[in-house]
């Protein structure tokens, strides 16, 4: 009799543990970030093959929604966003709301590598000062040209960030490092914001304490409350 009771108790306990385990697994997105934050654990890195992603106006809205989630009192400690969306958000900030249908039609795309972001699009040379801005090379850079830049995301202060450009190519021409800053100032001049002239400055909500770039993934971290 007691052996039978013991088996029943074991089965009941096992059933309860199974139910608790299933519920915990289903609701892990609610409690796991808080546990990781308390233990100081960064999100587990996953291998994602980097790919070019479109830079669209819809991406701006998605990043704003993600940031609003982080800012909630019960929000997660971090959140992953698409690189195309974050670049759209940064461009929208730097150029004051110009992630338009025209830019989307130009095929703007972004790619996340190891601590590095690449962006490519089509730009008309008239928009960057005309072909005369490039001296004797101007004749090679007339009309629409494919522009590709590569750089690193940096936080320059509370509420301020920048994409520091380390490589820039216009068509088949790779610009020397000394020419990147002056050209960027024609495209997106810095107006009192801290940071390098060879970088595109953008505004971030103060709630964002860190941004990590990994292949195929961008992670935004919430500041300490």
Return the closest-CA partner of residue 75 out of 134, 44, 30.
30
> Residue 125 is encoded by which pair of tokens?
């040379």
Gap between the terminal Cα atoms of the chain: 57
C-alpha dist (Å) from residue 208 to 97, 189, 202: 20, 24, 13
Pseudo-torsion of CA 107, 166, 161, 51, nearest 10°?
40
DSSP for 115-176? S-EEEEEEEEGGGGT-GGGGGGGGGGS-SEEEEEEEEEEEEEETTEEEEEEEEEEETTEEPP
Segment of 9-13, 27-31, 185-189, 201-205 carrying the highest mean pLDDT: 201-205
Q: Give rounded-to-5 percent helix, strand, coil for the chain.
A: 40, 30, 30
C-alpha–C-alpha distance, residues 19 and 100, integer Å = 49
Instruction: Give which of 93, 215, 94, 211 is closest to 154, Cα–Cα.
Output: 211
Parallel, antiparallel or unpaired: strands 109-112 and 53-54: antiparallel
The answer, yes or no, to whether residue 41 has pLDDT greater than 70, is no
Per-residue confidence (pLDDT) for residue 105, from 0 to 100: 47
- Tell me the sheet residues that pair with 223: none
How does pLDDT run across 158-206, given as a tens digit for each residue?
Answer: 778 888 999 998 888 888 888 888 877 776 666 655 567 788 888 888 8
The CA distance from 48 to 50, in Å, is 6
> What is the predicted pLDDT for the residue at 103?
52
Give the pLDDT score at 101: 46
- Tens-place pLDDT, residues 104-151: 546 789 999 989 999 998 877 776 655 555 555 555 666 777 889 999
Of 221, 45, 222, 212, the closest CA to residue 117 belongs to 212
Residue 143 backbone phi and psi in degrees, to 5: 65, -145
Kindly state the DSSP code that residue 207 receives in the 8-state scheme. Answer: T
Q: Please give the Cα distance from 215 to 188 (Å, whole number).
A: 27
More confident residue, 212 or 202: 212
10 Å CB burial of residue 20 (0-12, 13-18, 19+) is exposed
What residue ranges do the domains of the chain occupy?
1-40, 53-222
């Amino acid at each position: 009799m007691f052996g039978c009771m013991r088996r029943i108790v074991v089965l009941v306990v096992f059933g309860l543990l199974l139910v608790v385990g299933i519920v915990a697994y289903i609701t892990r997105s609610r409690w796991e970030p808080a546990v990781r934050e308390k233990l100081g654990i960064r999100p587990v890195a996953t291998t994602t093959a980097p790919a070019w992603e479109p830079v669209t106006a819809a991406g701006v809205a998605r990043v704003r929604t993600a940031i609003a989630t982080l800012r909630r009192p019960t929000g997660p400690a971090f959140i992953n966003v698409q690189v195309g969306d974050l670049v759209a958000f940064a461009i929208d900030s730097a150029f004051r709301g110009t992630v338009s249908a025209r830019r989307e039609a130009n095929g703007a795309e972004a790619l996340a590598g190891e601590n590095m972001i690449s962006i490519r699009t089509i730009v008309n040379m008239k928009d960057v000062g005309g072909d005369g801005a490039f001296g004797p090379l101007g004749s090679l850079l007339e009309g629409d040209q494919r522009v590709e830049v590569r750089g690193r995301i940096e936080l320059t202060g509370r509420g301020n960030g920048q994409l520091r450009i380390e490589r820039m190519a216009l068509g088949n021409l790779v610009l020397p490092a000394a020419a990147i800053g002056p050209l960027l100032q024609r495209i997106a001049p810095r107006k009192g914001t801290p940071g390098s002239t060879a970088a595109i400055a953008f505004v971030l909500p103060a709630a964002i304490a860190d941004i990590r770039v990994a292949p195929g993934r961008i992670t935004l971290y919430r500041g300490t409350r």
